[in-house]
Structure 1
Amino acid sequence: MSEPVLDLRPPANLVDRRAVGFWTTRAALGWVAPLVGVLLWLVFAGGTAATITLVVVAVLALAHLVVMPQWRYRVHRWEVSEQVVYTQSGWFNQERRIAPVSRIQTVDTERGPLERLFRLANLTVTTASARGPVHIHGLDLDTAQRLAAELAARTQATAGDAT
């Protein structure tokens, strides 16, 4: 009898569409300091080098803010079945993780101030794996809470100690 073949298709569910706005806002906040620094250089020292640097930083920031959130939205996916939690994440370095429900030890939801603003939550599924927990970022709050409860119930119903 042969082993069943695992279908390594992308997980079925996209994260919440509001994650695009969240990622854009978080990235924009990261560009504030470099842009302010270059603007201060331009104001106080002036010169061609400061102007060129401002243009380069502004173009890089704009490209990052336009491309990255859309790219991540297309890549980040998740799926939960009776047997596994399956995720795909990243944008340059993409990763797919499959965690058997029988190996789940804890299920947590988390929300920072920016996630709360966008009504999003993150789900962390800690397993008995040296690879670390499985994360699903950018979920609608209700979806994250429902998944956490569902996975906790499945974990409790699974025999063994998840090790």
Structure 2
Amino acid sequence: MRQPPAFSLDKQAIKVWQIHGGITFGLLLVFHLIFSYIVVRFEWSYVFIVITSVLIVLIFIIQTWLIPKIRYRRFRYEISDEEIYIQRGIIIVTRTLVPMTRIQHVDTTQGPVLKRYKLMTVTISTAATTHEIPALSEGEADGLRNEIAVLARVTDDE
């Protein structure tokens, strides 16, 4: 069996994913407050509020503390002259090989949370799929994008 890829993401990825989990929690909380108002307004059983409150707290703990740490530990990548090797997953670990000859273009993206932590995501597009290497430092992401673009161009010309 092949060894796991050598490189991991920037450590700040955990904070970024925790912030995304917190945003999800905030949206769930708004819906929970609306639901609670409806329960009180129509004099339904308060058991509904208790059950949904417990579920939302569990989702918050899992989404902001557990999943980002596991995701960080499991996500690995490696670039060679002939392929990109990506490992990802939380419960089910997926290992993907993307041949350089199949790559059509490479992008870097940076949303507001990634920008705050000076991170970028590298997106690799083939004819059929798109693959991402999330949360790399800006310099590393730019270098990786350029390296993949050069390697993909060289293998196309041969």
Q: Say whether 1:13 aligns with 2:34.
A: no
Q: Which amino acid aligns with 1:18?
A: Q
Match of 2:121 in 1: 122
**Which residue in 1 is equivalent to 2:154?**
157
Superposition deviation, residue 40 in structure 1:
4.6
Q: Aligned in 2, Cα 1:60/1:158: closer, same or farther, shift over 3 Å?
A: closer
* Match 1:136 to one of 115, 128, 133: 133
Structure 1 counterpart SS, 2:10: coil
Corresponding residue of 2:77: 78
Partner of 2:50: 51
1:36 has 2:35 as partner: no
**2 CA distance for matches of 1:147 and 1:140?**
10
Q: Which runs of 4+ in 1 moved over 4 A?
A: 40-44
Pairs aligned (count): 153
Paired residue type of 1:24 = Q
- Write 1 or 2 for the structure with the bigger share of helix: 2
RMSD: 2.2
CA contact (8 A) 1:86 1:97 kept: yes
Q: Which residue identity is paired with 2:154?
A: A
Q: Deviations over 1:115-158 (max 9, x none)?
A: 11221111112234x3x122111111111100111111222223
Match of 2:108 in 1: 109
Tell me the percent identity: 29
Q: TM-score normalised to the size of structure 2?
A: 0.84
What TM-score do the two structures reach when normalised by structure 1? 0.82
Residue 42 of structure 1: CA displacement?
Answer: 4.2
Tell me how far apart the structure 1 counterparts of residues 21 and 145 of structure 2 sit (CA, whole Å).
28
Q: CA deviation at 1:25?
A: 0.6
In the alignment, structure 1 segments of 5+ residues that lack a partner are 1-6
In the TM superposition, what is the alpha-carbon distance from 1:108 to its structure 2 partner? 0.9
The CA distance in 2 between the partners of 1:103 and 1:34, in whole Å, is 40
In the alignment, which residue of structure 2 is the partner of 1:89? 88
Stretches of structure 2 lacking an aligned partner (at least 5 in a row): none
- Equivalent position amino acid for 1:51 in 2: V
**Matched residues in 2 for 1:52 and 1:157: separation?**
58
* SS of residue matched to 1:11: coil
Output the amino acid matched with 2:147. E
CA contact (8 A) 1:42 1:51 kept: no
Give the deviation of 1:56 after TM superposition: 2.8
- In the other structure, the counterpart of 1:3 is none
